[in-house]
Structure 1
Amino acid sequence: MSFWQEYENINEELNEVRNMIIKSTKSKYLGEVMEPMIYSSGKMLRPAFVLLAGKFGHYDASRLKKFAMIIEILHMATLIHDDIIDDADMRRGQPSIQAEKGKNAAVFIGDYYLCQCFLMLSSDYEQEDLQHIARVINAICLAEVQQNFNKRNNNLSVRNYLKVISGKTAALFALSFYMGAKVGNCELKLCQDLGRLGKYIGMAFQIMDDILDYSSDQLSLGKENNKDIQQGYYTLPLIYALNNDKNSELKNLLDKEDLTKEEYALIVNMVNANGGISYSMDLAQTYVNKAFDIITHLPEGESKTVLKDITDKLLKRKY
């Protein structure tokens, strides 16, 4: 079932965006490789936020859907590259591109999608917009570099973590809202407010995603759980738990090589016992509250209603 199934208009438009992606990135070699990923159970949040934000203005539907397509192509490129780095077998409930076709092919496919994104942007957008988009892509890359350099670092602070997710996740959410509003011909103040809304939703979304790594099964997530711990990426629940690890039991366990399933389960229990999950839930709720403060002051209409529902839904999701 689609994440947007109960919202008929946006769900229909997202199906159009999916078809546009297939058509715009069509290649002799890529159709059968990419179609399962495009049509699988991804939430399509970023293109949906482009569409919802744009509808606050006097928008042109075709231009709005085109930018929604571009945002999703960019996001898909980052996912393909993420899976290479993480050696991930699953993506959106399907075998990842790198698992099915190999790392070399996945690198080329991810690069191709990035190039398609830039090609489409170059034909229809002002220099100011292109620079804004380039800065966001730069922020995503720098955040990924920082995260990679901090692998297996037991001394990370909550501030370190928030800086990383602000770049790697929230920046693209903010861009989706801001540029959606701008393409939709909204006034600058509304574009800026929607950009901030995107940032807060993105922060809450990533924190929840990291919580789910400790509380959901692989089938629900559509990817491997406990993968962050296995790869040495310490996210908020674990960082907070480590900061409250008075007897260094958790740290000593993480320092071991080749952890067993039982030891991974023990880590999850210790993260819970040290307050990592509850602290993370509270912080996610803080960002959701900030998002609702902005939503309250948005113009009335379908987009506002949907954003209220979805923001609440994201905090309560299990996948």
Structure 2
Amino acid sequence: MDPLVVYEYLSSLSEHHRQILLPVQQILRKKGMLAAKKRILRSLPELGSDASFDFLHAVAISGDDGKNLVNDIYPNFHQVYQLLLNDRQENYRRGVVYYVAPHTPLAKVIESCGQSDPNPFKVDLNFECLPPPEAEKFMDDIIDALYDEDVISLRCYQEELAEPAYDGYNTIVCAPTGSGKTIVAASVIRQHLIQGKLANKPNKVCFLVTNTTFLSQQAELLQGFLRGRWKIVALSGTSGADVPLVQTFYSNDVIVITPQMIVNLLNGKSMTDELMPFSLTMFSLIVFDEAHHADEKHPY
């Protein structure tokens, strides 16, 4: 790989990247390419959770050898990385905060305001983390807000239907058409996702819809009930034809999908090359819409 091309691409991602990789150019001039490559590799753990994907993309654009190497490792890496970039564009606009630890002298804070160098108290939340105690406090505040705001209001009979599922039991909700079974499911999903946040577990929901006609409709209903707090994606044989499904599962909180696509994945039949193995255990909650279809040769 050409370390200069890799350095330039990674440095262009953020000011945080640029500062971490600043020594690479000097190392390249004084010690040569091998030393520069080593420095880039040693810097990756400081460049965020997606650094390995950014690095592979930089290698792929550094020349034909790099492109061939990445293609050999991950045949559909370009598709996966494009998904990551789309996800980053939609959800990673987290901004910059200034964190000053307790007992920091005020004079030091005032002095930093006039510095031309990067402010030592600045934290880019896209790629950096707050110190653990503060990060935990921020998460507690977020969870409190999730509990206090956007609560799904259920009627008494709907609460009764949802109660066993709230408690973690396998539940069949049997009620007339128009009685609000979807809102019951949405409330159970919301509770489950919040419990995952509280326990620091990445809870993930699979919402199975038998008919592709209603796929987008159910996804939109869930978006409305969950107030956009969680990442929801709808996948059918058509919409999921060109994307790695398992990677998409990992990138979202609620996956609205047809049961046949899950059956195909379990049987090892996928329309795309998957980089990651699939297992139903990746879902912590599975919702079966129209569960009465679970008979004979139906995908359920």
- TM-score, normalising length from structure 2? 0.24
Higher strand share: 2
Higher helix share: 1
Q: Tell me: higher relative CO, structure 1 or 2? Use CA pairs within 8 A at least 6 residues apart.
A: 1
- TM-score, normalising length from structure 1? 0.23
